[in-house]
């Protein structure tokens, strides 16, 4: 009985060694580009690239929000001419249409399905006409009264444009508001 178990253990060990040898040969051939990647290798590579892109995007966004805190949230920005300018950005659009109807206007599950008559038309108007966007506002506090409003599609573009506008105001002064400082990134 012992002889049979020894043979079986030796056979299993040889199988495991051969499998490990094939795996190592396959991995080295893949790294050398001599064999095509398997489906799992492609999936792992895709996930790794997506994770690297997300990390880079987060790094860019963290830098952007640092710039927003540095230039916009500390108060008015002033340039070489001494004119103070307040620059901000916020969501624009029809806020009152975005709100849900009060709870008493939702249908009671025990009654027939009837929703308040204004809800669906206002929702349709909101979806078709009033798209949400972001606006960058700039207004002088001291000096001549100058106001500027720039409308952009998303929050990142609005924050980027507001930071660029603040940097231009610091560098040039009031003329940065009187002329279009460049096409905003939409």
Q: Could you tell me the pLDDT band of residue 16, with boundaries at 50, 70 and 90?
A: very high
Q: What is the percent of the chain where pLDDT is above 90?
A: 12
Mean pLDDT of 151-179: 85
Facing residues of 90 across strands?
135
Closest CA to 74 of 62, 61, 86, 63: 86
For the stretch 68-101, pLDDT in tens is 888 888 888 888 888 888 888 887 765 544 444 4
Mean pLDDT for the chain overall? 78
Task: Give the CB-side neighbour count of residue 53, counting CA atoms within 13 A.
Answer: 6
Closest CA to 76 of 184, 174, 179, 175: 174
The domains of the chain are located at 2-66, 75-103+118-178
């Amino acid at each position: 009985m012992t002889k049979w178990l020894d043979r079986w253990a030796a056979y299993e060990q040889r199988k495991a060694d051969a499998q490990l040898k094939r795996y190592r040969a396959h991995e080295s051939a893949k790294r050398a580009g001599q064999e095509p990647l398997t489906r799992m290798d492609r999936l792992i590579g895709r996930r790794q690239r997506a994770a690297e892109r997300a990390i880079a995007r987060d790094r860019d966004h963290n830098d952007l929000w640092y710039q927003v805190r540095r230039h916009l949230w500390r108060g008015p920005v002033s340039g070489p001419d001494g004119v103070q300018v307040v620059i901000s950005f916020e969501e624009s659009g029809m806020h009152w249409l975005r709100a849900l109807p009060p709870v008493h206007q939702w249908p009671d599950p025990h009654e027939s399905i009837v929703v308040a008559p204004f809800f669906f038309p206002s929702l349709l108007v909101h979806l078709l006409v009033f798209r949400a966007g972001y606006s960058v506002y700039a207004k002088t506090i001291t000096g001549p009264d100058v106001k500027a409003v720039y409308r952009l599609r998303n929050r990142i573009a609005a924050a980027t444009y507001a930071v660029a506008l603040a940097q231009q105001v610091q560098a040039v002064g009031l003329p940065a508001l009187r002329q279009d400082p460049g096409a905003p990134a939409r």
